[in-house]
Structure 1
Amino acid sequence: MKIFCIITLVSTLLLPACVSTPVEPVKWDLKPVSLYYSGYEKGTEIVSVQTLTLRAVLSNFGTGEVDVLDVSQPERLRRLARFSLGLGQGEELTSVAFHPSLDLFAAVVDTGVKRGRLEIRSASTGALIDQVEAGFGSDAVVFSPDGRLAMVANEGEDFWFDQQKRQFFKAKGGISIVHLDRDGLIEANNNLRLADVTARKGFVIEEKGHYLEVGIDWNGDGNISKQMDFDGNGLIEDKKVHLGRFEESEVFGNETKGERKIMIPVSRHSSTLLEPEYIAISPDASRAYVTLQETNEVAVVNLISEKVMGYYGMGSTEHMADLTNDGWVSFDQSIVALREPDGIALTADGRYFVTADEGDTETEGQTLSGGRTISVFNARTGKFVGDTGNQLDEVTFAHHLYLDSQSGRKGAEPEMLVSFDLEGVPWVAVGMERAGAVMLISLADPERPKVEALGKIPGEDVKSPEGIAHFMVGADHYLLTANEMNGTVACFKIIKKEPEA
């Protein structure tokens, strides 16, 4: 009887403690569920989903074709149709986007030295419905949520050399704002040039040298050489040779790198170097945010007045990293790096924009190129909120996907990203170009974005995920990655992680 009373008393005392134990937050994981093969070795670059019909459009830059996929059964992606855009010589399909509600998709064609174009096509037949001239180096395209606007980022990244003047030239980048009627026909188009960039607040130039490495046909033979006897002495030497001028700056090349890596100086006064990469449109379609990777900025466009409101300097990030390709990975070196964002997305409430900080220049000072981060900014003010530090590389390494050969370059390289809400919490998913993977990042605390999961794209070959898209089937969340170097699309399901024992 005495023993029974003691046991009862202990159980009673412990009961409140058990009841008040805090519940662990839900953990999420990425499960690969299918892989679509285009039938080509590479080229699958951009993918976009129409959630109403659970169809996707997929571009192939190598063939100039668009695949329409059925994604209603994510475990078995199925091609519904393949359309050739009938591109001419020197033309390239650079981007696609599915209209939010109509049976239409947009396709962007880069035509080289001429202005590119935006095509509106039937998603059922591939027929050309309408088209309009865009800017130079037309690249990414995106629709507003209501489908009444399409925007094109015209990168204008091609350089050429005038041998007589010894001068390098480049087309200016810009933004196309295309208005569509209720049937998806083009009503108006504004090819908006970017504003003067002189003395912009937050613009960073590395004092010891800040360059774009670009391929330019310097000698006019129609080819981009890997080595070049620039000074004509009959030798290929590892040395800098003066090649000419770009605007007010001298341009140099290294003979061992040839025409494929000519060094164009990034200068404070050059509006020509503004090269729009990707665009995010606010939920109410009043603003657009455009990444300018080479100058480490985001341009803010007022879509009512169709004017550039200003530029947010993306600044730099500081964290620990591995910077040496020596066969040993150890994240014990401190870096300061310009973010230089590539992909950009807005959270569903429009409060924050999030960037994938890949990097695209070369520096010769202490500040490096490419943050190796996902960064969060206040969309109204441009104020920095938080970034992932070195989580992307560390998680990649933990999954045995980190390449030490990239340590001295830009790490695992975050490329494009997509934002969505998951059970009331904002998240982003980002494709990691050098890791062949996609990462899931929680923005529950925007000041401390946290990598929660990594999904490896199936297969052992090089994948290089470029485009990424999110969609839902019922209550389930899925991600698609377009993997340009092996001609596939991978599908991942976002699942709740089993609690640890």
Structure 2
Amino acid sequence: MKNFGISLIAALFIFCSCENEKSDNNQEIEINEDVASFKEVGIITIGGLAAAEISAYDETTKRLFTVNNSATNQIDVVDVSDPANPKKLAVIDLSVYSGASNSVSVYGGKLAVALESTVNKQGNGKVVVFNTSDYSLIKEITVGALPDMVTFSPDGKYIMTANEGEPNADYSVDPDGSVSIIEVNNNYAVTTLNFAGFASQLTTLKTKGFRVSKTAKSFAADIEPEYITISADSKTAWVTLQENNGVAKIDLASKTITSLFGLGYKDFNTAENGIDVSDKDLTIAFNPWKLKGMYMPDAIANYTVNGTSYFITANEGDAREYNPYTDVARLKTLTLDATVFPNAATLKADASMGRLNLISTEGDTDNDGDLDELISFGARSFTIWNGNTGSLVFDSKNDLDKRSNDFGTYDDARSDDKGSEPEAVVVAKMGNKNILFVGLERTDTVMVYDITNPSAPQYLQSIKTGDAPEGLLFVPASKSPNKRSLLVVSSEGDGTVKFFQPNLQ
């Protein structure tokens, strides 16, 4: 009887370990995982600061490819056939390609690496494609300036890059921000799109919170694409334009930018949006303030519910800081309109709002030299938007900061500057639920939400990560080395890659 019990348990385990695998009658077999029970199962340290920024997984070789820029210029290859015991296998040296890696993506045995030029950072970058089995070079493709993110489309037909096109240190050269679309099956033919065609819409875009710097050399040069997500049918892409507080929508078949969405402002003057604005008040208190935030998203993800597309943003915020031009200043150094802010002197105290970093070039609505509105970087939240209209569906308000504090990871030293700093978002399908993972750079945490209902996400879990999680990667159980869902978190602060898996129900 005892042996029978053991055999039965083993049989059940084998049955449960075949999510999305085909049985003999071609029916899908799914495991039943507890979506709120992710826990750390493995870790590998590949270097120090900037050693583990972004990772990509190859199902065939069961290898992880991780950007390593910690005094090196390489991709580290890690064997993750056993997620509890990851082992470094090899290094792909990138120094011979005159570029430094920013991002990686994998599809069908091909590894795509985005390289910014180390000869001239404002010059064109490239995508270098390698074979994941032997690391041999397949193709080098020229793209726009400073490719900051690369991704394959879900069907593998396209590689896309977000080319940030940042200016040089003295702002004398500012290349166009752009998006490159590479056709894999057409000898890697590349089409690079800029945003010049939308310059005539700037007045309208500004009414929707879209932002162009007052010292911009041109509309196209000021646009800075940051991150890309591509729909499951590989027909549509959404691209964050972080410093511009916008998102671009792209049609892949026609290779055209079809829309620019201005994301507007978040009102922090409500109890549910209340934030901690000082790192010198000797307490953590999430209160409403007469303040707005530009969403300025970094990472972006997408999913579809009942035929409607949604994109999700991690609303980090980002300043421009160059020798002749900077757009960030502490509130206490700025002049506030005396009528709008009769208590300006009180607000400028360090224990009040004085330490808060503001967008110094925004908020003077009547152009008289003082601020009529206070506008900060980021929204300290994740937001779900309608993928067709760009309209806001749900914002997490101050949930990320408050739950970080409850979890014991909130860093009060960042209260004056973006709070928990949402950096990354990834959406995964687990069973019949859509699960969102949100990486928080300054609280070293990943938060997990059930977003099956886009208008009413439900918090599930907080997970402690390495220092400054930058890259989130979800591997579904069907592709995972041990046939269990796998969350991979790459942290650039300490050079660690951590592996998390949920319990079976």
The alignment's TM-score, normalised by the length of structure 2, stands at 0.75
Supply the AA of the counterpart residue of 1:203: K
Is 1:401 aligned to residue 403 of structure 2? no
Q: Give per-residue Cα distances to partners, 1:78-122, cap 9 Å, x unaligned.
A: 223221123466x311111112x2x22001110113210111112
Is 1:383 aligned to residue 368 of structure 2? no
Q: What is residue 286 of structure 2 aligned with on the other side?
A: 331
Residue pair 1:131, 1:186 contacting (<8 A) in 2 also = no
Deviation at residue 381 of structure 1 after TM alignment: 2.1
Q: Give per-residue Cα distances to partners, 1:247-293, cap 9 Å, x unaligned.
A: 57xxxxxxxxxxxxxxxxxxxx7332110000011111111100001
Supply the AA of the counterpart residue of 2:454: P
Is 1:276 aligned to residue 236 of structure 2? no
Give, in whole Å, the separation in 1 of the partners of 2:415 and 2:169: 32
Residue pair 2:231, 2:237 contacting (<8 A) in 1 also = yes
Deviation at residue 295 of structure 1 after TM alignment: 0.9
Deviation at residue 160 of structure 1 after TM alignment: 5.0
Structure 1 stretch displaced more, 30-39 or 358-367: 358-367
Distance verdict in 2 for CA 1:419–1:247, change over 3 Å: closer
Distance verdict in 2 for CA 1:171–1:333, change over 3 Å: same
SS of corresponding position for 2:401: helix
Q: What is residue 354 of structure 1 aligned with on the other side?
A: 312
Give, in whole Å, the separation in 1 of the partners of 2:169 and 2:287: 42
Deviation at residue 348 of structure 1 after TM alignment: 5.7
SS of corresponding position for 1:97: strand
Give, in whole Å, the separation in 1 of the partners of 2:483 and 2:139: 36
Q: What is residue 237 of structure 2 aligned with on the other side?
A: 288
Q: Give per-residue Cα distances to partners, 1:349-402, cap 9 Å, x unaligned.
A: 672111100001341342222011110011122221101111110111111111
Q: What is residue 497 of structure 2 aligned with on the other side?
A: 489
Deviation at residue 202 of structure 1 after TM alignment: 4.6
Residue pair 2:216, 2:222 contacting (<8 A) in 1 also = no
Is 1:106 aligned to residue 131 of structure 2? no
Supply the AA of the counterpart residue of 1:339: Y
Aligned residues: CA RMSD:
2.5
Q: What is residue 416 of structure 1 aligned with on the other side?
A: 424
Is 1:477 aligned to residue 495 of structure 2? no
Is 1:425 aligned to residue 433 of structure 2? yes
SS of corresponding position for 2:127: strand
Is 1:186 aligned to residue 141 of structure 2? no
Give, in whole Å, the separation in 1 of the partners of 2:175 and 2:123: 10
Give, in whole Å, the separation in 2 of the partners of 1:421 and 1:205: 32
SS of corresponding position for 1:447: coil
Is 1:126 aligned to residue 124 of structure 2? no
Choose from 170, 175, 197 the match for 1:171: 175
Residue pair 2:274, 2:286 contacting (<8 A) in 1 also = yes
Deviation at residue 496 of structure 1 after TM alignment: 6.6
Distance verdict in 2 for CA 1:435–1:354, change over 3 Å: same
Higher strand share: 1
Deviation at residue 211 of structure 1 after TM alignment: 8.9
Residue pair 1:48, 1:468 contacting (<8 A) in 2 also = no
Give, in whole Å, the separation in 2 of the partners of 1:348 and 1:445: 11
Give, in whole Å, the separation in 2 of the partners of 1:348 and 1:484: 31
Q: Give per-residue Cα distances to partners, 1:403-426, cap 9 Å, x unaligned.
A: 111111101111121111122111
Give, in whole Å, the separation in 2 of the partners of 1:87 and 1:415: 31
SS of corresponding position for 2:156: coil
Residue pair 2:295, 2:377 contacting (<8 A) in 1 also = yes
Higher helix share: 2
Give, in whole Å, the separation in 1 of the partners of 2:420 and 2:293: 15
Give, in whole Å, the separation in 2 of the partners of 1:188 and 1:478: 34
* Unpaired segments ≥5 residues, structure 2: 1-32, 268-272, 320-327, 329-358, 361-372
Choose from 444, 450, 470 the match for 1:466: 470
Deviation at residue 206 of structure 1 after TM alignment: 8.5
SS of corresponding position for 1:294: helix
Structure 1 stretch displaced more, 283-292 or 76-85: 76-85
Give, in whole Å, the separation in 1 of the partners of 2:180 and 2:209: 31
SS of corresponding position for 2:404: helix
Deviation at residue 312 of structure 1 after TM alignment: 1.3
The total of aligned residue pairs comes to 404
Deviation at residue 317 of structure 1 after TM alignment: 2.4
Residue pair 1:291, 1:297 contacting (<8 A) in 2 also = yes
Map 1:37-76 onto structure 2 (within 5 A).
Answer: 37-62=45-70, 63-76=72-85
Map 1:428-443 onto structure 2 (within 5 A).
Answer: 428-443=436-451
Identity between Structure 1 and Structure 2 (%): 29
Q: What is residue 274 of structure 2 aligned with on the other side?
A: 320
Supply the AA of the counterpart residue of 1:187: Y
Distance verdict in 2 for CA 1:206–1:312, change over 3 Å: closer
Give, in whole Å, the separation in 1 of the partners of 2:462 and 2:378: 21
Residue pair 2:47, 2:68 contacting (<8 A) in 1 also = no
Give, in whole Å, the separation in 1 of the partners of 2:299 and 2:421: 11
Give, in whole Å, the separation in 2 of the partners of 1:276 and 1:110: 14
Deviation at residue 42 of structure 1 after TM alignment: 3.8
Q: Which has the larger radius of gyration?
A: 1
Distance verdict in 2 for CA 1:288–1:110, change over 3 Å: same
SS of corresponding position for 1:105: strand
* Unpaired segments ≥5 residues, structure 1: 1-24, 162-166, 213-244, 249-268
Supply the AA of the counterpart residue of 1:191: T
Q: What is residue 16 of structure 1 aligned with on the other side?
A: none
Deviation at residue 192 of structure 1 after TM alignment: 1.1
Supply the AA of the counterpart residue of 1:38: I
Is 1:311 aligned to residue 260 of structure 2? yes
Distance verdict in 2 for CA 1:69–1:186, change over 3 Å: farther
Residue pair 2:80, 2:86 contacting (<8 A) in 1 also = yes
Give, in whole Å, the separation in 2 of the partners of 1:97 and 1:131: 15
Give, in whole Å, the separation in 1 of the partners of 2:49 and 2:181: 34
Give, in whole Å, the separation in 2 of the partners of 1:468 and 1:27: 16
Residue pair 2:34, 2:502 contacting (<8 A) in 1 also = no
